[in-house]
Amino acid sequence: MSVIRRARPTDAAAMGRVYVESWRSTYPGLIPDHYLVGLSEEALTARWRGQLAWGRDGDGVFVAVERPHGVVGFVTCGVQRGQLAGYGGEVYTLYLLDQAQGHGLGRRLMAAAATELLARGYPSGLVWVLRDNPARWFYERLGGRRLGEQTICLARELLPEVAYGWGDLSELARLPVNPPLE
């Protein structure tokens, strides 16, 4: 049984763990090893704790909680940080532990983010994904339209990213976030 809910400051440590584990299992070969080795759960926990405590304006953060494991994934979203015309909202991060993948939680987290973006007045949105990350097929499966590419610099490497967009987030938001209560 799993539930998607808004994140609380007490979720920060679990989010730090999910982030580091997910990066280390997703990005070997895509992002330099030394960068992945250097990721710090403590630093990320502090970052999430600060963000959640201050309730930073514009950010929506949702966690996937699975009994008995606790937080197994999360999504964050808000105003688009770039300048791609016609897409007001953005999904910034979406990460699940390995064992939590492939059971529909990613889709439900995306539905929560889409619902949040709509509520904040963004009818459309996008996500950036590393071009060589197989997760891009997930965004295609959810109806994302390939919008374009950019190159980012991470750990002194140039990495190609692809943007996927939803002109109408209401389709994503229609997906069930949580199973109906019995």
For residues 174 and 179, give the distance between their C-alpha atoms in angstroms, rounded to a whole number.
13
Give least dist CB 12 to ligand COA, A: 19
Q: Choose among 94, 121, 87: nearest CA to 110.
A: 94
**What is the size of the binding site for ligand COA (CB under 6 A)?**
19
Restricted to residues 129-168, the positions that interact with ligand COA (CB under 6 A) are: 129, 133-135, 137-138, 141
Q: Nearer to ligand COA by C-beta: 47 or 107?
A: 107
Q: Is 26 in the site for ligand COA (CB under 6 A)?
A: yes
- CA angle centred on 8, ends 4 and 10, rounded to 5°: 115
**C-beta of 50 vs 104, nearer to ligand COA:** 104
For ligand COA, the binding residues in 35-64 under the rule CB under 6 A are none
| Radius of gyration of the CA atoms of the chain, in A | 16
Tell me the three state secondary structure of residue 147: strand
Residue numbers at the binding site for ligand COA (CB under 6 A): 22, 26, 94-96, 101-107, 129, 133-135, 137-138, 141
